[in-house]
């Protein structure tokens, strides 16, 4: 029986989920829910109903796992607990500092409804978190480092776009190569925010706008840019569309640690991602975990889970015997 997937929110991530489902023969897209007028939305899969979010209750028996594709700032904190009462759900909540409270809210809702939920699925949080945990457990006398990029940060791009006189912008987060090399050498350096990443901004300014003022406002913006070495390039709208249309991302989780009688041996574990499309890769991770959620629910394992709770074999459509014979 194919796993029936619902998509709740049809932006970049929702479209990525739709594509990922097509790569997984054990899954079917059952319905897409949108806050827009469903009549205005054309999706990529023929014959799949597109419905308004207000109609979601009627689908409670038709969907095995609902994947929430909204944003962490305002959508998911209310949507995930609300839906977890009636659906098995997966979200990609990525505000690290607020994960514990989100988990508690979703866990309570899922248990009330007897459903299985999973939050914070993707690559960070997600695959990067797994690698931080495995590294921490395997090399306890060590330290881990996470670097992001080179990639587009949506939040930082949005922050630039809000500046007066800016028509459009793309911001790239770039790991500092010398910092990466220091970490890879196993010396466990102490690194400041500025030493780990730089930020590069491509900005389309309105005609006649004061570019010096825009550049200053970007570089001094607290939290977003003030703690980084930031470069600002002014380009045309055509150049932005031509050269910066993608949503690439990636990064590195590196753990180094010591072993031996006198801690004389150093080991370096490095996990890296190079992604052409951040939302499509995030979607691919979510879809694999949706399979795990469906299985946990069948097993009666309710409440809210994280990637830390899921046996790796649950992500795969292959049988345990097949996995052991082919991948172990």
Query: Which residues between 287 and 316 bind a copy of itself (CB under 8 A)?
Result: 288, 291, 306-313, 315-316
CB of 292 to a copy of itself, least distance (A): 9
Closer of 166 and 175 to a copy of itself (Cβ): 175
Largest separation between any pair of C-alpha atoms in the chain: 69
Burial class (CB in 10 A: 0-12, 13-18, 19+), 276: exposed
The number of beta carbons lying within 10 Å of the beta carbon of residue 113 is 18
Does position 72 interact with a copy of itself (CB under 8 A)? The reply is no
Does position 244 interact with a copy of itself (CB under 8 A)? The reply is no
Cα–Cα dist 136/118, whole Å: 22
| Residue from 115, 132, 170, 244 in contact with a copy of itself (CB under 8 A) | 132
Q: How many residues bind a copy of itself (CB under 8 A)?
A: 71
Does position 69 interact with a copy of itself (CB under 8 A)? The reply is no
Does position 12 interact with a copy of itself (CB under 8 A)? The reply is no
DSSP 179-203: HHHHHHTT------HHHHEEEEEEE
| Residue from 79, 281, 290, 302 in contact with a copy of itself (CB under 8 A) | 281
Does position 136 interact with a copy of itself (CB under 8 A)? The reply is yes
- The string over 25-50, giving b where at least 16 C-beta atoms fall within 10 Å of a residue's C-beta and e elsewhere, is eebbbbbbbbeeebeeeebeeeebeb
| Residue from 37, 61, 190, 321 in contact with a copy of itself (CB under 8 A) | 321
| Residue from 3, 5, 20, 67 in contact with a copy of itself (CB under 8 A) | 20
Does position 67 interact with a copy of itself (CB under 8 A)? The reply is no
The phi, psi pair for 277, rounded to 5°, reads -140, 110
Closer of 43 and 163 to a copy of itself (Cβ): 43
| Residue from 127, 204, 214, 240 in contact with a copy of itself (CB under 8 A) | 127
| Binding mask of the shown chain, residues 144 to 183, with x at each position contacting a copy of itself by CB under 8 A | ----------------------------------------
Q: Is the CA virtual torsion 289, 291, 294, 297 positive or negative?
A: negative
CB of 137 to a copy of itself, least distance (A): 4
Cα–Cα dist 91/66, whole Å: 9
Does position 242 interact with a copy of itself (CB under 8 A)? The reply is no
Cα–Cα dist 234/248, whole Å: 20
Closest by Cα among 219, 157, 143, 231 to 187: 143
3-state secondary structure of 26: coil
Does position 44 interact with a copy of itself (CB under 8 A)? The reply is yes
Among 96-104, 163-171, 201-209, 219-227, the segment contacting a copy of itself (CB under 8 A) = 96-104
Closer of 35 and 265 to a copy of itself (Cβ): 265
∠ CA 46-12-56, nearest 5°, is 60
Closer of 94 and 217 to a copy of itself (Cβ): 94
| Residue from 271, 290, 293, 294 in contact with a copy of itself (CB under 8 A) | 271
What is the chain's alpha carbon radius of gyration, rounded to the nearest angstrom? Answer: 22
């Amino acid at each position: 029986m194919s796993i029936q997937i619902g998509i709740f929110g049809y932006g970049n991530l929702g479209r990525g989920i739709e594509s990922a489902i097509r790569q997984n023969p054990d899954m079917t897209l059952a319905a897409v829910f949108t806050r827009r007028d469903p009549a205005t939305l054309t999706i990529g899969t023929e014959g799949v109903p597109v419905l308004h979010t207000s109609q979601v209750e009627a689908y409670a028996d038709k969907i095995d796992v609902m994947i929430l594709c909204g944003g962490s700032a305002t959508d998911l904190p209310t949507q995930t607990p609300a839906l977890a009462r009636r659906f098995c759900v997966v979200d990609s909540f990525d505000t690290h500092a607020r994960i514990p409270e989100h988990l508690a809210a979703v866990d309570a809702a899922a248990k009330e409804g007897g459903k299985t939920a999973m939050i914070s699925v993707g690559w960070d949080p997600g695959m990067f978190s797994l690698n931080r945990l495995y590294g921490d457990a395997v090399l306890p006398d060590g330290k881990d480092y996470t670097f992001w990029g080179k990639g587009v940060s949506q939040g930082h791009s949005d922050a630039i776009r809000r500046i007066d006189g800016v028509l459009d912008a793309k911001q790239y987060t770039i790991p500092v190569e010398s910092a990466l090399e220091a970490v890879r050498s196993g010396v466990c350096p102490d690194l400041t925010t500025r030493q780990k990443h730089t930020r590069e901004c491509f900005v389309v300014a309105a005609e006649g706008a004061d570019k010096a003022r825009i550049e200053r406002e970007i570089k001094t913006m607290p939290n977003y840019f003030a703690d980084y070495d930031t470069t600002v390039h002014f380009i045309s709208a055509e150049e932005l569309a031509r050269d910066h249309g993608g949503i690439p991302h990636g990064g590195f989780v590196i753990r180094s640690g010591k072993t031996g009688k006198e801690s004389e041996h150093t080991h370096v574990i490095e996990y890296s991602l190079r992604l052409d499309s951040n939302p499509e890769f995030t979607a691919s991770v979510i879809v694999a975990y949706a399979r795990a959620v469906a299985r946990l629910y069948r097993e009666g394992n309710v409440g809210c889970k994280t990637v830390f709770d899921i046996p790796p074999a649950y992500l795969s459509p292959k049988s345990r015997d097949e996995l052991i014979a082919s991948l172990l």
